[in-house]
């Protein structure tokens, strides 16, 4: 059972739903310590005061805001907790919007919301069912870690999920990253669409969507523990793309072959030409 990371309430008009917030994801990555390679000793970070030149305990460490080069304003955690914000202990629902109106780039970490007690179960289920029937998501404000945040509430497997949302000014403008205009033929676009069709799946299940890197790291660590060398394998180098159309056709063939389908390369340019040449039937 994941630990509670925050507790408060969902404010839904005049309805209040006491909830506990639990992390919805887990980290299964392989984590490493920093070591001194010469003798394998741990390398640790020391918290040293630059004025006294000594290591200080955690109890003596706090927050400070750099006002200018010579002025730092200390801020206590208790002062941040006592800020007069309506969202300090509540997730305030501000609006309901269609789910597809939220750009996925704004989505942050996800958290499960659990009713805090049996009394909270009824308004919790009421909000959940209302969200399901409306096919909308709720946009809310909440305050964590000394700052007010924007959030999105949706339903997953009969549980209300909270996603942190980035504010508008936190999303960088990508306009300067756009490439210059290029010319594409109808055949190239058609072949790319055909490749998309070949790679289309119903979901993210199956061996193609497993963390192979972590598995490889764990296998390497096991070999090292047993003082064995990994089997030599020639590195795969991506081929240089010379002809875009040829690369698309080869990709389609490989996608079909991987799914056990006929790997015959379809000439989409001929099909596109044939469609243009075909005259519409008279009524």
Q: pLDDT for 30-57, tens place per residue?
A: 889 999 999 989 998 889 999 999 999 9
What percent of the chain stands above pLDDT 70? 84
pLDDT at 121 over 80: yes
> How confident is the model at residue 146, as a pLDDT?
67
Specify the pTM: 0.67
Q: pLDDT for 182-241, tens place per residue?
A: 888 898 888 888 888 888 877 777 777 777 878 888 888 888 888 888 777 766 665 554
Q: pLDDT for 143-180, tens place per residue?
A: 877 678 899 999 999 999 999 999 999 999 988 888 88
- Least confident range from 16-25, 44-53, 67-76, 77-86: namely 77-86
Specify the domain boundaries for CATH 2.40.290.10 within the chain: 4-26+82-170
* Topology of the domain comprising 4-26+82-170: Ku70; Chain: A; Domain 2 (2.40.290)
Q: Please, what is the average pLDDT of the chain?
A: 82
- Helix (H), strand (E), coil (C) string for the chain: CCCEEEEEEEEECCEEEEEEEEECCCCCCCCCCCEECCCCEECCCCCEECCCCEECCHHHCCEEEEEECCEEEEECHHHHHCCCCCCCCEEEEEEEEEHHHCCHHHEEEEEEEEECCHHHHHHHHHHHHHHHHHCEEEEEEEEECCEEEEEEEEEECCEEEEEEECCHHHCCCCHHHCCCCCCCCHHHHHHHHHHHHHCCCCCCCCHHHCCHHHHHHHHHHHHHHCCCCCCCCCCCCCCCCCCHHHHHHHHHHHHHHHCCCCCCCCCHHHHHHHHHHCCCCCC
pLDDT at 244 over 80: no
């Amino acid at each position: 059972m994941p630990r509670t990371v925050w507790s408060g309430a969902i404010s839904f008009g005049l309805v209040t739903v006491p909830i506990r917030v639990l992390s919805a994801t887990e980290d299964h990555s392989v984590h490493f310590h920093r070591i001194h390679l010469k003798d394998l000793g741990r390398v640790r970070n020391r918290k040293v005061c630059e004025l006294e030149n000594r290591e200080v305990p955690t109890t003596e460490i706090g927050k400070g805001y750099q006002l200018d080069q010579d002025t730092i304003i200390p801020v206590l955690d208790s002062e941040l907790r006592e800020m007069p914000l309506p969202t300090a202990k509540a997730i305030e629902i501000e609006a309901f919007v269609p789910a597809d109106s939220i750009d996925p780039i704004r989505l942050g970490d996800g958290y499960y919301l659990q009713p805090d007690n049996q009394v909270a179960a009824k308004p919790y289920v009421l909000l959940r069912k209302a969200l399901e029937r409306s096919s909308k998501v709720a946009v809310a404000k909440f305050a964590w870690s000394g700052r007010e945040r924007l959030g999105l509430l949706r339903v997953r497997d009969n549980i209300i999920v909270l996603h942190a949302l980035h504010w508008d000014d936190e999303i960088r403008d990508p306009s300067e990253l756009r490439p210059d205009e290029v010319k594409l033929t109808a055949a190239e676009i058609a072949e790319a669409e055909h490749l998309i069709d070949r790679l289309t799946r119903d979901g993210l299940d199956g061996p193609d969507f497993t963390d192979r890197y972590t598995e490889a790291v764990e296998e390497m660590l096991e070999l090292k523990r047993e003082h064995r060398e990994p089997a030599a394998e020639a590195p795969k180098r991506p081929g240089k793309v010379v002809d875009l159309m040829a690369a698309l056709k080869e990709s389609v063939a490989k996608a079909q072959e991987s799914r056990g389908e006929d790997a015959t390369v379809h000439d989409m340019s001929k099909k596109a030409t044939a469609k243009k040449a075909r005259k519409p039937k008279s009524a």
